[in-house]
Structure 1
Amino acid sequence: MTLRPLTVIGFDADDTLWQNEQYYRLTEAQFRELLADYAEGEHVSERLLEAEKRNLAHYGFGIKGFTLSMIETALDVTEGRAPSSVIREILGIGRELLSHPVECLPRARETLEALRGHYFLVLITKGDLFDQERKLAQSGLGDFFDAVEIVSDKTATTYRRIFSRYGDGPERAMMVGNSLKSDIVPAIAAGAWGVFVPHALTWVLEHVEKPSEAPRFREIADLGGLNAIIEEIGG
């Protein structure tokens, strides 16, 4: 009996299935305006990014960590003089970020619908558990997935574990996502296929070089091109 070359397909969520980064950018713009009396906008953004880098190990990925980084940055650029009203407004825009609408990206629903029942589909996303569950529920895409994995980070070890748990190991699995650093490079390192779907907005900390020479690396303009990749590899 010939084994199928592909049995499990993993999908990233934020900016792969639905919009996400655009809301962070809008929130950062509000934050810069809030601190306009204390520092130039570009300086505020630079200090915020530094705070996010420092805090990833403590707070992980997601809105709550981002909000705490904004508070830390406000205290930093004002040298501890940020009034309570500013801190209150930061908490407010953080809460707004937690309630933004879920806008699915083009071809997401029809792609999942076409694959459902033919492959084991697993959503693999990182970030705040509450927020990711909220977005999945509001997206209306939850029923297409056979499993959901909300992880603290995405590494080759993460993908080996997930693809071995739900399938026949990473060699017969594929990961689809917009982040080279989180979705593609570690999945390929684990032995899986990595299909890169670029998004116009990607967080700067997710930028790495494309693994263009890797035999299992593929790139498509949008999710509508995924079926062609699956057919190509004999899935």
Structure 2
Amino acid sequence: MSRNPDLVAVFVDADNTLWDTDAVFAGAQVALLGAVESRIGTTTPQADRLRFVRAIDQALAERHHAGLRYPPRLLVRATELALRGAKPNEAARAAWGGGKDYLLSEGDLPAIEESFFGDLAKVPRIRQGVAQGLRKLKESGCLLLIVTEGPKAKVERNADLLELTNFFDRIIEGRKTPDLYRRMLSLTGAAERAFMVGDQLDRDIGPAKAVGCETIYFPGGFQPRWAPDQASVQPDHVISSFDQVPAIVFGPVAGKVEARVRHT
């Protein structure tokens, strides 16, 4: 596509930007914890049940080549070990290494996994201001694309069920690297008017900023403990509701001033 200096392209992350995927994962993880507890007859002494299972989840993700997409049966195994007294890192290491004696049999795992996947399939809630913000961007003639590392089919399903599909011109699935954003700039023909909106500083903001996109950070409810901090990435703007995006896109100078005020 040839360059169009008047085109405004807005790239938008899906999970935890358009909708609250984290809340779905949190519910699934707490339910998995309950399933393991009921089968081995032991409960966590911690009042914050999500924090308990998330500590195990993070320890597993740090060790697995697939990161947060590791097989859920590892979480089942490590959760049992943690309930029996192991520290999160110890439980993750032992579950990954295998060779442990478990109270849960191999026959117990499929039912827990099936319930976990069923919980993950629930439709997430749309995030604050998303419909209003997208409508203003679309009515103003912006080219809108979803950029996701998640399965495209699932993103399409959620966008359809949340009545967001018609706002977007295209959905792009791929690993979020500077090269992907360069290809998207070339694909859209956007000249100097390209924005990226996302909740991940290391996946949405950093790589997009590196190739010249103006970045809009929309913090979600969960950040992995290995994620960089905001000060090190320095997004161009920080918002608390998606309906703030149009004012930034069509008033970039005012938007930057407002963002700097929030940072101080």
Question: Under TM normalisation by the shorter chain, which class is it?
Answer: 0.7 to 0.9
Q: RMSD over aligned Cα, in angstroms?
A: 3.0
Are 1:97 and 2:119 an aligned pair?
yes
Structure 2 distance, partners of 1:43, 1:193, is: 37
1:67 equivalenced with 2:72 (yes/no): yes
Residue 104 of structure 1, CA deviation: 1.2
Q: 1:213 to 1:86 in 2, by over 3 A?
A: closer
- Of stretches 72-81 and 225-234 in structure 1, the one that deviates more from structure 2 is 72-81
Tell me which amino acid in the other structure corresponds to 1:47: I
On the 8 A contact 2:36/2:76 being kept in 1, the answer is no
CA contact (8 A) 1:211 1:217 kept: no
Q: 1:87 to 1:46 in 2, by over 3 A?
A: same
Q: Say how many residue pairs are matched.
A: 225
Deviations 1:39-80 (A, max 9, x none): 85767543332222333x44x665xx4535425635845925
Farther-moved stretch of structure 1 (142-151 vs 29-38): 29-38
* 3-state SS of paired residue (1:106): coil
Aligned residue in 2 for 1:233: 252
SS of equivalent to 1:204: coil
Give how far 1:218 is off: 0.7
Partner of residue 13, structure 2: 12
* TM-score, length-scaled by structure 2: 0.72
Aligned counterpart, 1:156: 178
TM-score, structure 1 normalization: 0.80
* Contact persistence 1:195–1:220 (CA under 8 A): yes
**Kindly tell me: are residues 179 and 109 of structure 1, through their superposed partners in 2, closer, same or farther at Cα, counting changes over 3 Å?**
same
Residue 193 of structure 1, CA deviation: 0.5
Alignment match, 1:210: 230
Q: Output aligned runs, 1:43-122, within 5 Å.
A: 45-55=54-64, 57-58=65-66, 65=70, 67-71=72-76, 73=78, 76=94, 79-81=100-102, 82-116=104-138, 118-122=141-145
The equivalent of 1:136 in structure 2 is 159
Secondary structure of 2:230's match? coil
Contact map agreement 1:167 1:173 (CA 8 A) in 2: no
Q: Does 1:189 align with 2:197?
A: no
Displacement, 1:184? 1.1
1:88 counterpart SS class: helix
Decide whether aligned partners of structure 1 residues 136 and 69 sit closer, same or farther in structure 2, where only a CA change above 3 A counts.
farther
Show the counterpart of 1:22: 23
How far apart, in 1, do the equivalents of 2:52 and 2:22 lie? 20
Mark the structure with the bigger radius of gyration: 2
Change (3 A) 1:102 1:24: closer
Number of the residue aligned with 2:258 = none
Other structure's SS at 2:135 match: helix
* Shift in Å, 1:213: 8.1
In structure 2, give the amino acid aligned to 1:129.
Answer: K
Structure 1, 43-52 or 173-182: larger mean CA deviation: 43-52
Instruction: Give the fraction of aligned pairs with identical amino acids, expressed as a percent.
Output: 22
AA matched with 1:19: D
Cα shift at 1:173: 0.8
Secondary structure of 2:134 counterpart: helix
